[in-house]
Amino acid sequence: MPTHTISPAQPLTLAALATLLADGRPVQLGADAKASIAACHNYLHQRLAHDDRPVYGINTGFGSLYNVSIAPPERAQLQVNLMMSHACGTGAEVPQNIVRLMLLLKAQSLSYGHSGVQVATAERLVAMYNRELLPVVFEQGSLGASGDLAPLAHLCLPLLGLGEVNYQGYRLAAADAMSLFSWEPLVLQAKEGLALLNGTQFMLAYAVDGVLRAQRLAAAADVIGALSTEAFGGCADPFNEHLHRIRPHAGQVQVARRLRELLAGSELQAQPRRAMQDPYSFRCQPQVHGASRDALAYVAQVVETECNSVTDNPNIFPDEDLILSGGNFHGQPLALALDHLAVAVAELGSISERRTYQLISGQRDLPQYLVAAPGLNSGLMIPQYTAAGIVSQNKQLCTPASVDSIVSSNGQEDHVSMGANAATKARRIIENAEQILGIELLTACQALEFRRPGRSSAALEAVFAAFRKQVEFVGHDRMLYADLHQAADFVRKFDWAEVV
C-alpha cells in the first residue's frame, strides 16, 4: 500500500483524507517536513541560549501566569507539568477514528516548522497513527480557544509514557503499550508541551469526519428523495433545467440535474399526473438540498484551510528571527463552520421526515401507513414518529455554540469559540440525519412496492434491489427496530455517489 507523505509543500486535502481513512495507508514525515521542524527547533534553542527575554510559554508560565518567569533548569519540567495539569477531560470517550485523525492533523500542523518541537516528537505522533496506538481522549473539556487544551493533553500524554491508550481492542496504560514497541518516553524540551496542547486538532478532526459524512449524506438525500418522488407519484417538472437556470445557485442547479438524471427512463414518470403540484418536500428538493450543499462547500473550504494551518502559540519564524505570540489557536473559524454544518445537515433530515410523512398518509392511491390491512396492522406508522422525534432533537442541537463564550484564566482568556461543543453536537446531528434518511428510504421502498408493476429508472431500481437485500418488505406487523438500524447503516455505507 502506498505511503502518504506529510509535507509542508503538499496541501492536505479532504479528498486525500478520505482516501487515508478508507484504506488505512501508513503516513510518514517527508524530508522537507523534517528539515523545517529541525531548523525551527535549532533556531529556538540557539536563541534561548543567548537571549533571556520573556517568551510566552517557553520561559514564562501559562495563561494569566504569563508574567511568572521560569528559570532555565525548570523549563523542561514546565512542559511536563503543562501536559499533566491540562489533562482534565471528562464525558464520553472520543471515537477512536477521531483520535487517529487528531494524531495525523497534529503531525501535519507541526510539519510546517513554526512550533519548535523536536523531529522525534512529530515522528512519535506519526508512529502512533501507523500502529493505531490511540490515546484515550474525552469529549468534554475544551473551550475552543487556547486550542483544544484538555483533549490534546490526553492525546499527547502517551508521548511521556502517561495516560491510557486503546490498542487492538484493549485499554492499556500508555507505558505498558509503549513497551510493546520498545519505545522510551520522550523528554520534552522548551515549548514542546505548549506546541502539542495548543491547536484546534480536536474540533478539526470532528470537522473533517463531519464534512465527509455530510457530503455522503447529501448524495444519499438526492437519491432517496428521488425514490420518494417516484413512490409518491410525484412529477419531475420542478427539476426542469429552465427553472434552475433563472436562479442559478450552484447547489440548487446540481441537485436539480441529479434528480433529472435519477428519474430519466422511469416508467412511473410516464404515467398520468396524480396532482397538479407536489408538496414542497418533493417539489423544492433542489432548493433545500442545494442550499445544504452550498453550505457544505463553504464548510469544506474552511476545514481544508485549517488542515494546512499552524494553530499553536507562540509561533516561531526562524528566517525572520521572530517569535510571535498571537491567537491562531482560537477556534472561531471552525466553530462557525461547524454550526453551519449542523444546520445544513439538520435541514436534510427535516425535509426527509416530511416526505416520509406524506408517503404514509394514505394519499395518491397508497394505503395508509403503507400496509395492506391498516387497522389490524399499524405498518409504518411509528417509524415516522421516530423520525419526527429525531428531527425535533436536531432542531434543539442546532442552537449555535459559536455565539457562546465564557471567561477563563482570570480574564486573560476572555473570549472563546466553544468550537469543541459545536464539533461534538454536529456529529450527533449527522448520526441522527443518517437514521432519518434511513427511515425515509425504508418508507420509499415500501411505497414503491404498491406501484408495481410500474418500474422506476434503472438507477433507482438498482438502489431498491440493494436495499431489499438488507431490509424486507413489511407485509404485516413485525418488530421494526432492527430494520431501522439496518436502514441507517445502509445510508452510512452505500456508495451513493456511484448511483447512475
Check 56, 112, 129, 206 and give the catalytic one: 56
The H or E element spanning position 165 is strand 164-167
Are 82 and 146 spatial neighbours (Cβ–Cβ below 8 Å)? no
Q: Is 369 a catalytic residue?
A: no
Q: Please give the grid coordinates belonging to residue 20.
A: 487515508
Place of cell 515522528: 123
- Backbone φ and ψ for 138, nearest 5 degrees, come out as -115, 150
Place of cell 436502514: 487
CA-based nearest residue to 433, from 195, 215, 166? 215
Q: State whether residue 402 is helix, strand or coil.
A: coil
Are 292 and 344 spatial neighbours (Cβ–Cβ below 8 Å)? yes
What is the pairing mode between strands 27-29 and 4-6? parallel
User: Which residues 6+ apart lie within 8 Å of 338 measured at CB?
Assistant: 203, 206, 207, 210, 299, 401, 402, 419, 422, 423, 426
Q: What are the CA-CA distances from residue 40 to residues 5, 109, 325 (Å)? A: 20, 13, 16
How many alpha carbons lie under 13 Å from residue 238 in its C-beta half-sphere? Answer: 19
Q: Active-site residues: which are they? A: 56
